[in-house]
Structure 1
Amino acid sequence: MAQSLAHVALVVRDYDEAIAWFSEKLGFELLADEYQAEQDKRWVLVAPPGSPPGGTSLLLARAATPEQAAFVGDQAGGRVFLFLRTDDFDRDHAAMLARGVTFVRPPVAQPYGKVAVFLDLYGNRWDLVQFSAAPAPSPAGRA
C-alpha cells in the first residue's frame, strides 16, 4: 500500500490576504484558486517553492462559522503546527527576515538539524528546519 498526505488544511480569515502572505513572505507558489459555487467557497492550494509535483500542499480554508474562526491562528493550541523543510537554512532564514517574517525562537542546532520557530500571518507557529544528512531523532518532542 502506498499513501501520502495530499493537502493540509489551514483555517484562514481571508483567502486573498493568506495568498498574499504565503506568496510574498514565504515565496510559496499558488497552485490552485478555483471558486466552488455550490459551496460558496474557494479551493486554494499553495506550496513551497521547489515542491515536487503532487507533493503535499496547504489548503487555505476560509473560516465559514464563528466556531471555525476561533481557530484561526491557533490550530495547534500554541504548539508548532507545521514544519517547513529547507535545503539551505541560512539563505531562507535571511530571506524570511528580510521579508518581515516574525521569528519567536532564534536558530539553534539540534541533533536532527538547524531550526528556528516563526509565526504565520495569523500567529500559528512553524519550524523552519534544515535536517541533518544523517538519520536523527524526530523533532516532535521539541515542538
Structure 2
Amino acid sequence: MRQSIVHIALVVRDYDEAIAFYVGKLGFELIEDTYQPAQDKRWVVVAPPGGAGTTLLLAKASRPEQQPFVGNQAGGRVFLFLNTDDFWRDYERMRAQGIVFVREAKEEDYGTVAVFEDVYGNLWDLLQLRPGHPVAARMALQLAE
C-alpha cells in the first residue's frame, strides 16, 4: 500500500495576501488558484520550490468561528517544518525578504534550524536535516524512486 498526505489546510485571512507572502516572499510555487462558484471560494494550493510532497491549501476563514485560528493553528507551537538543501542560502534570502525570525539559527543534533513567522504569526522551522537523520534518509529514498 502507498499513501501520502497531499494537502495541509492553512487557515488564512485573505487569499491574495497569503499568496503574496508564500509565493512572493517565501518563493513557493502557486500550483492552483481556482474559483469554486458553488461554494463562493477559491481552491489555492502552494508548494515549496522543488518539493514533491505535501502542499499547502490556503483556506480562507469563511465563518466567524474560524477567524481566531488565523495565525494560531498550533496554539503557539511551531506548526510547519520547511526542510531545505541549503539552510544558509534560504535563511539569508528570507531575511532579505523581511521574514521575521523569532529564534535565530542554531546547530542541533538533527541539523541546522531557525524559527520564523509567516504573515499571520504561525511559527515555522526552517531546517536542514543532517545526512543520516531518519527523515532525511526517508526523503532521499522517496526521491530516488
Q: Normalized against structure 1, the TM-score is what?
A: 0.92
> Residues of 2 paired with 1:136 and 1:41: CA distance?
39
> Residues of 1 paired with 2:116 and 2:80: CA distance?
10
Residue 135 of structure 1 is matched in structure 2 by 133
The answer on 1:36 being equivalent to 2:28 is no
> Residues of 2 paired with 1:113 and 1:79: CA distance?
19
Any idea what the Cα deviations from partners look like across 1:64-111, whole Å, max 9, x if unmatched? 011101100000000000000000000000000000000000001111
Residue 76 of structure 2 is matched in structure 1 by 78
Q: In the comparison of the two structures, how many residue pairs are matched?
A: 135
Residue 140 of structure 1 is matched in structure 2 by none
Deviation at 1:135, TM superposition (A): 2.3
Q: Which amino acid aligns with 2:58?
A: L
> Residues of 2 paired with 1:85 and 1:79: CA distance?
17
Q: Which amino acid aligns with 2:70?
A: V
Any idea what the Cα deviations from partners look like across 1:35-71, whole Å, max 9, x if unmatched? 001111000000001112xx21000000001110110
Residue 90 of structure 1 is matched in structure 2 by 88
Deviation at 1:136, TM superposition (A): 5.6
What's the % identity of the aligned pairs? 63
**RMSD over equivalenced CA pairs, Å:** 1.1
> Residues of 2 paired with 1:78 and 1:128: CA distance?
16
Residue 45 of structure 1 is matched in structure 2 by 45
> Residues of 2 paired with 1:135 and 1:105: CA distance?
22
> Residues of 2 paired with 1:66 and 1:116: CA distance?
33
> 3-state SS of the aligned residue for 2:121?
coil
Gaps of 5+ in 1: 138-143
Any idea what the Cα deviations from partners look like across 1:104-129, whole Å, max 9, x if unmatched? 00001111000000000000000000
Of 47, 61, 68, the residue aligned with 2:66 is 68
Deviation at 1:5, TM superposition (A): 0.6
Q: Normalized against structure 2, the TM-score is what?
A: 0.91
For the Cα contact (< 8 Å) 1:35–1:43, is it kept in 2? yes
Gaps of 5+ in 2: 136-145
Residue 13 of structure 2 is matched in structure 1 by 13
> 3-state SS of the aligned residue for 1:58?
strand
> Residues of 1 paired with 2:115 and 2:8: CA distance?
19
Q: Which amino acid aligns with 1:88?
A: D
Q: Which amino acid aligns with 2:87?
A: F
